[in-house]
Amino acid sequence: MSGGFYDYKNYLMNEWIESTEDEFLKIVEEDRYNDEVYLEIQKGIELMKKASIYMHRMDWLFSGDDGGDAFQHRLEEDFKSL
């Protein structure tokens, strides 16, 4: 496994994202909030996903698994797949 700068704790972010998405689906189904709240939650989930990508890429960069060029290329590719 590559990385390690964050002691692999950055992978918790993906668990948090998944839990947040599950909870979001639940509250939408229960119609708990108005549309503005749902939009803000969706923005938050998007930001969490972007933060996760940055953490993953910086982890590999800081751990020496990627150089600067690879960091930038992989970051760009990860954002395209988002």
State the average pLDDT over residues 59-75: 97
Asked whether residue 38 is assigned to any structural domain, the reply reads yes
- In a domain, residue 30? The reply is yes
> Can you read off the two tokens belonging to residue 30?
């229960």
The mean per-residue pLDDT over the stretch 33-40 comes to 98
SS3 content of the chain, % helix, strand, coil (to 5): 75, 0, 25
Return the pLDDT at 1: 57
CA distance 27 to 24: 5
Please check whether residue 56 lies inside any domain of the structure: yes
CA–CA separation, 13 vs 49, rounded Å?
8
Look at residue 4 and tell me if it is in a domain: no
The answer to whether residue 3 sits within a structural domain is no
Q: Does residue 17 belong to any structural domain of this protein?
A: yes
Per the structure, how many domains does the chain have?
A: 1
Range of the domain at 61: 9-81
Task: Classify residue 2: in a domain, yes or no.
Answer: no
**Global confidence as pTM:** 0.91
Q: Find all residues with CB under 8 Å of 4, minimum gap 6, and list them.
A: 59, 63
Mean pLDDT of the 46-67 span: 96
> Across residues 22-28, what is the average pLDDT?
98
